[in-house]
Amino acid sequence: MQSYWFGDVGEGRCSAVTGDVNAMVSRILSLSTQLDTFTPPDWQQAVACGFCSGRADYLALLQAVCIAAAERSVREHYSGKDAELLQMVRTLDEMDTVVNLLSERAADWYMVRHPAFSRKYRRTPAHILVRTMRENSRGALGKVAGEIGQLADTRTALAKEVSARANDVMPNTSALIGGLVAARLMAHAGGLLPLSRLPASAIQVLGARTALFAHLKTHTPSPKHGIIFQHRRVHNAPRDVRGRVARVLAGKLAIAARIDYFRGVAVPEFLEQAQNRIDTAGKGDGA
């Protein structure tokens, strides 16, 4: 017997499905087919079954069911807690780029208007510079500086939200490396499930693609770290142990991501153990 979307066919008999589109969608999403004995569905069988009246009817019904099924699959795909976090992180990183590019450009413009102005020997934070530009410039430049300030504020608010959301969605990974970096790792992998399937060695160099392929192609030294470099534990570690810290941290992150995906709650025993192990690696006496 063969199960098709319109019903079951076999041994000279045929039973058409009944029920609404929703029930038919649930049915086709749950059907499993043995391919070695499979023959594709035939619309004339469906007509013989009394399921539909002809070719046009067959296609119209099939399309209605398939559109509903595809819509349901899309909705399910977006229902995971990580789906929105993914977009939030990517927006955040894009905003960073935009804010930096715009402030560089505006600063250049400002320097043309104020030939005596220079940033050398001054430790002016970026947001102060933007405010100075806004207050001292008339016309479009002042407005641009104002917009940059607004964008930067939005960016800060978004970063906070990303961090909070990451703590909720991936509590263990966030506890080890901070919400923001954890979210970035997840975004690079393409979601929490793909991240949890990555080996530790891949997590270690996630975000160091150029260096990794340069290594594979031309045998330059292999990258020691990718995104995880952003965490203070890695970038504050002395150069000679940085690779080790990155490796140990990535190992624990791989475990943390799996706990996050399959359990979804923080596991204090694991976290304590992992933190200790990473600290030992940083001190240089751990193997």
Q: Which residues here bind another protein, judged by CB under 8 A? A: 3-5, 28, 31-35, 38, 40-43, 59-60, 62-63, 66-67, 69-71, 73-74, 77-78, 213, 216-217
What count of other Cβ atoms lies within 10 Å of the Cβ of residue 29?
11
Output the smallest distance, CB 5 to another protein, in A: 5
Output the smallest distance, CB 79 to another protein, in A: 11
Output the smallest distance, CB 31 to another protein, in A: 5
Total H helices, total E strands in the chain: 14, 3
Residue 126 CB burial class (10 angstroms; 0-12, 13-18, ≥19): middle
Output the smallest distance, CB 191 to another protein, in A: 11
Q: Phi and psi (nearest 5°) for 211?
A: -65, -40
Output the smallest distance, CB 77 to another protein, in A: 4
Scanning the structure block, which residue is given the tokens 């119209």? Answer: 60
Q: In the complex with another protein, which residue's Cβ is closer, 67 or 164?
A: 67
Q: In the complex with another protein, which residue's Cβ is closer, 70 or 164?
A: 70
Q: In the complex with another protein, which residue's Cβ is closer, 128 or 216?
A: 216
Q: In the complex with another protein, which residue's Cβ is closer, 73 or 276?
A: 73
Q: In the complex with another protein, which residue's Cβ is closer, 55 or 105?
A: 55
Q: What is the 3-state secondary structure (H, E, C) of 222-263?
A: CCCCCHHHHCHHHHCCCHHHHHHHHHHHHHHHHHHHHHHHHC
C-alpha pair distances (Å), 50 with each of 31, 47, 132: 21, 5, 77
